[in-house]
Structure 1
């Protein structure tokens, strides 16, 4: 077993350590995955405060969240002060930052919906569609398409990604000119309206007991520290799944979110147009008075 390797300038210890036992995926293979997808991932993860889900002993085992610097944090992770919070938060600049997180046993990367330049003003609004256990993925697709059409109706363009689980995220890029409180209020109002129009299909309360047969529209992601899993991030779940940006048109045909894994995503991404290529060029504001 190799004791260490250098990947993108970062020392990777125990590169042969298995992190996903079912697939036999090692720490080195995880690092190589992030090198392969960095070009598509970094525009949505770099220079944003991040929450890491660290799983030093591998997927599905004891994991913990980390947002702040502590002993063992590598120099490739930087710090940014966020107005209203005492402790600075972590962020990365480049692919070396991704590999540093792998070295730290990170299996999930959750960026904030802000950049380090404007950490008090969100530039992403996220609607997390979380289905009840009894619902199929087709129900989630229908919900995502409805969110898209409702957003279109108020002049907002949106993008979609799988989550590495049963849900979908609808992501709305916006200019960072609205404070968190107003952005969250918009997301809540939008979600509440959907739930009021179809209470048999949707709800906006987090209660599991009330969710039977319905989809929870989680607007609570739109808070300073309530992050959502980043595009191309791995998940600490069986099957080594990845949260994958997709084209809206892909929801019209057979789609299995479990097919997006560490093993399959790099080749797929290299062979297709980037589904989120236009996001950086979108200029739109939330329809908030004043």
Structure 2
């Protein structure tokens, strides 16, 4: 085992030293496409993509997806900051669906990301909020998740359809690979509405896309109802749900990375080709396609109007994640094939309607 390595990491307040124990410890085992990727390789990768990675992480609460003994060992999530957080690392208080609150890490500088890698972090999962206001998202995030039997070209087709729907309601969509089989589509929004309202706007967009591409798109929460279609995961807009950050590695074989790209680039390269080994060169050649993500935040009012129109059509709330409190109007949390239709759900209530929000920041 190699001796500990001291990395000198530049930062906003000068250089910081980060101790990397066991730098040759394997994070990703060797594959047919290349040798093993070590902790030192991971730290070097983070330093190579530091500037755009920080654009995705800085000033946000971040959940850490960590591993013990590499990606083939135990994988777990850290919402509380790991023990031994350096005194120069910032945290922020966040509130969870249960109502409890506790601090989460904020990755404001590259040394924090490298230290997190030293603590076994592979994937960074930032919240769609800023540290000064953890209740009003400033990003819409939509995960396009293909069911088995579909290929990446199908997901790309759906992503392009989603782009048209989002642009039709005044949003500017940005796209990235996930590091797996799907695609993530983001849009910057004014941090004016709270999580439930943003989620409803996303459901409105998802249902509109489903109407546009019914043979390829589904909003069905239950897998048994999806068929061979791409699921538009509206619950990524729910409080305490996060996606892998732009430029973040994934806990998957080969060291894949979630990579921002232009709409023209989408589909020209397979997501499996974008890895910890290859992405620094990709970034040097193509730059950060998400550099201007927050240059002109949009409003979700028109997207929310889609939700309101669906309420008039008789369409209501959709299922929340199973660890989320039961919400008004939510369908029964029973797999459709096991549902007893003769038994009413005592918690069935109409979906909430909101008062029209002003253009000012919500309280």
Q: Which TM-score band (shorter chain)?
A: over 0.9
1:52 aligns with 2:60: no
* CA root-mean-square deviation: 1.6
| 8 A Cα contact 1:77 1:100, kept in partner | no
SS in 2 for 1:250: coil
Q: What does 1:160-171 align with in structure 2 at a 5 Å threshold? A: 160-171=175-186
SS in 1 for 2:49: helix
Aligned to 1:36: 48
Counterpart Cα distance in 2 of 1:256 and 1:272: 16
Q: What does 1:107-186 align with in structure 2 at a 5 Å threshold? A: 107-186=122-201
Query: Which of these two proteins has the greater Rg computed from alpha carbons?
Result: 2
1:5 aligns with 2:19: no
Counterpart Cα distance in 1 of 2:177 and 2:209: 21
Counterpart Cα distance in 2 of 1:118 and 1:264: 36
Which is further off, 36-45 or 67-76? 67-76
Counterpart Cα distance in 2 of 1:20 and 1:74: 26
> In the superposition, relative to structure 1, how do residues 72 and 64 fare at CA in structure 2: closer, same or farther (>3 Å)?
farther
Counterpart Cα distance in 1 of 2:212 and 2:161: 12
How far is 1:130 from its partner? 0.3
Aligned to 2:83: 71
Any unmatched runs of 5+ in structure 2?
10-16, 305-355, 358-363
Deviations 1:157-197 (A, max 9, x none): 11000000000001011121111111111011211222244
| 8 A Cα contact 1:134 1:212, kept in partner | no
Aligned to 1:271: 285
Deviations 1:228-277 (A, max 9, x none): 010011011111100000111112x5321111100000111011232112
How far is 1:284 from its partner? 1.5
> Which residue of 110, 126, 130 corresponds with 1:95?
110
Any unmatched runs of 5+ in structure 1?
none
Deviations 1:184-234 (A, max 9, x none): 110112112222444332112232222331001001111221000100110
Aligned to 2:38: 26
Deviations 1:84-105 (A, max 9, x none): 5421222221001110110110
User: More relative contact order in 1 or in 2 (CA 8 Å, sep 6+)?
Assistant: 1
1:258 aligns with 2:272: yes
> Which residue of 207, 215, 233 corresponds with 2:222?
207
Counterpart Cα distance in 2 of 1:164 and 1:173: 22
Which is further off, 188-197 or 269-278? 188-197
TM-score normalised to the size of structure 1?
0.95
Counterpart Cα distance in 2 of 1:126 and 1:170: 6
Counterpart Cα distance in 2 of 1:206 and 1:28: 40
SS in 1 for 2:193: coil
SS in 1 for 2:40: helix
| 8 A Cα contact 1:140 1:168, kept in partner | yes
| 8 A Cα contact 1:130 1:167, kept in partner | yes
Aligned to 2:239: 224
How far is 1:76 from its partner? 5.2
Counterpart Cα distance in 2 of 1:219 and 1:75: 37
